Structure 1
Amino acid sequence: MPDRPVYSIGALVRMLGIPAATLRTWEDRYGIVVPERSPGGHRLYSRLQVEQLRFVGDRLADGMAASDAYRLLQSRLSSGVPLEPARIPGGDGLLIMLAEQDPFAADFSDYFLRMEGYGVTLVSTAERALAESVRRTPDLVLIDLLISGAQGLRLCAQMRQQFDVPVLAISTLDLRDDALEAGAAAFLKKPLEPLRLVSVVRDLLGQSAYLRSDSVAEASP
Structure 2
Amino acid sequence: MLGIRAPTLRTWEDRYDVVVPERSPGGHRLYTRPQLEQLRFLRDSIGAGLSPADAHRALRERLHAGVALHDIDRPVKLTTLLILLAEQDRFAADFAEYFLRTEGYDVVLVADADDALVQMEGKAPDLAVIDLLISGGRGLQLCTYLRRYFDAPILAISTLELRDEALAAGASAFLHKPLESLQLVATIEDLLGRSGLLRRRVEE
Output the TM-score relative to the length of structure 1. 0.55
Task: Name the one with the larger strand percent.
Answer: 2
* CA distances 1:42-82 after superposition (whole Å, capped 9, x unpaired): xxxxxxxxxxxxxxxxxxxxxxxxxxxxxxxxxxxxxxxxx
Counterpart Cα distance in 2 of 1:121 and 1:211: 16
Larger radius of gyration, structure 1 or 2? 2
Q: What does residue 135 of structure 2 align with?
A: 148
The 5 A counterparts of 1:1-150 are 87-88=60-61, 92-150=79-137
* CA distances 1:89-133 after superposition (whole Å, capped 9, x unpaired): 7x9521000000110000010011001110000000000000111
**CA contact under 8 A between 2:189 and 2:197: conserved in structure 1?**
no
- Tell me the amino acid that sits aligned with residue 198 of structure 1: V
Counterpart Cα distance in 2 of 1:171 and 1:143: 8
Which 4+ stretches in 1 moved above 3 angstroms? 207-212
CA distance change for structure 1 residues 211 and 114 in 2, over 3 Å: closer, same or farther?
closer
- Tell me the amino acid that sits aligned with residue 122 of structure 2: R
1:173 is aligned, of 136, 141, 160, to 160
Task: Name the one with the larger helix percent.
Answer: 1
**CA contact under 8 A between 1:96 and 1:119: conserved in structure 2?**
yes
Output the TM-score relative to the length of structure 2. 0.59
**CA contact under 8 A between 1:88 and 1:202: conserved in structure 2?**
no
Shift of 1:135: 0.9
Counterpart Cα distance in 2 of 1:210 and 1:115: 11
Q: What does residue 53 of structure 2 align with?
A: none
Counterpart Cα distance in 1 of 2:197 and 2:133: 32
**Residue 141 of structure 2 corresponds to residue 164 of structure 1:** no
- Tell me the amino acid that sits aligned with residue 173 of structure 1: L
In structure 2, runs of 5+ residues without a counterpart are: 1-59, 63-77
Q: What does residue 193 of structure 1 align with?
A: 180
**CA contact under 8 A between 1:97 and 1:140: conserved in structure 2?**
yes
* CA distances 1:125-177 after superposition (whole Å, capped 9, x unpaired): 00000011111111000000000010000101111111121000000000000
Shift of 1:208: 10
Counterpart Cα distance in 1 of 2:102 and 2:155: 19
In structure 1, runs of 5+ residues without a counterpart are: 1-86
Counterpart Cα distance in 1 of 2:176 and 2:167: 13
Shift of 1:206: 2.5
Counting aligned pairs with the same residue, the percent is 58
**CA contact under 8 A between 2:153 and 2:191: conserved in structure 1?**
yes
